[in-house]
Amino acid sequence: MSYKWNYKSPGEIEKGSLHIEVIADYGGGHTTDHAFAEVRNHFFRFDKDKKIRLVTEHPVYAFSTIETGFWIAQEGLHSEHKDLVIFSNTAPRGDITWSGENRQYFVCGLLDNGIPIFAVNAGYNLSFVKDRLQ
């Protein structure tokens, strides 16, 4: 089966329009874990055409793919925000036993409402939106 990525072409994305919501099991703004800051800085560093307006963080509990999946669905299906992009990185790893540990691919997809999702395909991360992905 062949899939085609049919999100907006780069020329169709207005400068300063994208809102990237990072849903991940990083520490969040009130910890000494600077992972969210590093991810935000990388997004802006590679945004040569200045398409990004805002990068926000949404921390979840460590390795909680259920909580991550819930928030991906909540934000992606109920935000009604045409310039939202969801980026997620929650995956069981290391000493935590997980049968899919070697198959946790980073995937992308479009919800049927046009919101793109980039996420680790692990645990329940995509289970709440699987029927709404194109």
Domains belonging to the chain, first-starting first, are 14-132 (3.40.50.10790)
Please give the structure tokens belonging to residue 96.
């935590």
The 10s digit of each residue's pLDDT in 19-64 is 999 999 987 666 777 889 899 999 999 999 999 999 999 999 988 9
- Burial class from Cβ neighbours inside 10 Å (0-12, 13-18, 19+) for residue 33 reads middle
In this structure, what are the phi and psi dihedrals at residue 127, rounded to the nearest 5 degrees?
-65, -30
Residue whose entry in the numeric block shows the structure tokens 């994208």: 18
Residue 30's pLDDT is 67
Task: Please give the model's pTM, rounded to 2 decimal places.
Answer: 0.87
Please give the structure tokens belonging to residue 64.
């909680």
